[in-house]
Amino acid sequence: MRLRRAGRTYGERQALFPIDMAVRAGECVALMGSNGSGKSTLLRLASGREKPTTGSVLFEGHPMREEDPRTRARIAVVGDTVSCYPDLTARAHLLLVARAQGVGDAAAEWTDRVLAERGLTAHADSYPSSLSSGQMQSLLLGCAFVRPRDMLILDEPEQRLDPAARDRLAEQIKQEKRDGVAVLLATHHTDLAGSTADRVIVLEEGRVIAAGATEKVLKKVGL
C-alpha cells in the first residue's frame, strides 16, 4: 500500500497534509501522535473508506477506490470504536466470521481456539451487553484475524485491553508479519510500537514531524 502526496481536508480544516509513505508486505508501520494529529484520517484513506482530497492511494500499484469491494475485502480493519451485533454471543460472532470466510467444518474448532487465545472461553456464550469493552475489543480482534488478508489496519487496538491481552496482540502482529501481511498500526502505546513496528511515523496537527526506523524515531521524539 502506498500513499502519494495524499492529503485530506474537511471543509476549511486540513486534517492531513500531503504525505508520501508505503507499507510493504511483511512489515509493520506504526503511526503515533496525540489525538487529532491525523492518524485516524490516514487510516481511513489507507483502508479506502475515504478518498484523499489531494494525491492518491495505491494498493498493489492500483488506485484505491471506495466502491471496489474486492480490494477492500483484502484489507482487514479494526477501528478504535467497539461495535458488535447485540443479538449474537461471542461464540456466534466468531462462527459467523469463520463460516463467511470459508473455514468450513473446522469453524467450531477454530472458534474455540480463538476464544481461548483471546481469554474469552468463560464468556463464549455471553452477549455484548454483558462483556466489558476490553473483552469486546478482544472479540473484534479475533474476528479480524480470521479473514484472509494482504493488509491489516489497526486503529489503537490496544485500547481497553489488559496487559495480558496486549501481549497477545503484539504476538499476533508479529505472526502477521511472518505470514507476509502488511500491517499499519496507529497507537499511543510505545511498548507496542517498539516491539512490533519496523518503522514509525509521528504526526502532529496533520503533518509528519518524524519518520524512520522505530528505535531511532522513538528516541528522537522522546517517546
Q: What is the DSSP string of 57-123?
A: EEETTEE--TT-HHHHTTEEEE-SS----TTS-HHHHHHHHHHHTT-GGGHHHHHHHHHHHTT-GGG
Selected residue with higher pLDDT from 79 and 81:
79
Reported as a single tens digit per residue, the pLDDT across 207-219 is 999 999 999 999 9
| CA–CA separation, 140 and 134 (whole Å) | 10
Residue 59 to residues 24, 76, 130, 177: CA-CA distances in angstroms?
Answer: 10, 14, 39, 17
For the whole model, what pTM was predicted?
0.84
64 close to 2: Cβ distance less than 8 angstroms? no
pLDDT at 110: 86
Q: Any idea where the domains of the chain sit in the sequence?
A: 2-84+149-221, 86-130
The per-residue pLDDT for range 48-74, each reduced to its tens digit, is: 889 999 999 999 888 876 556 677 778
Which CATH code fits 2-84+149-221? Answer: 3.40.50.300
**Using the 8-state DSSP alphabet, how is residue 157 labeled?**
T
Rounded to the nearest integer, the mean pLDDT of the chain is 89
Length of the chain: 223
Strands 151-155 and 75-78: parallel
Residue 170 has pLDDT above 90, yes or no: yes
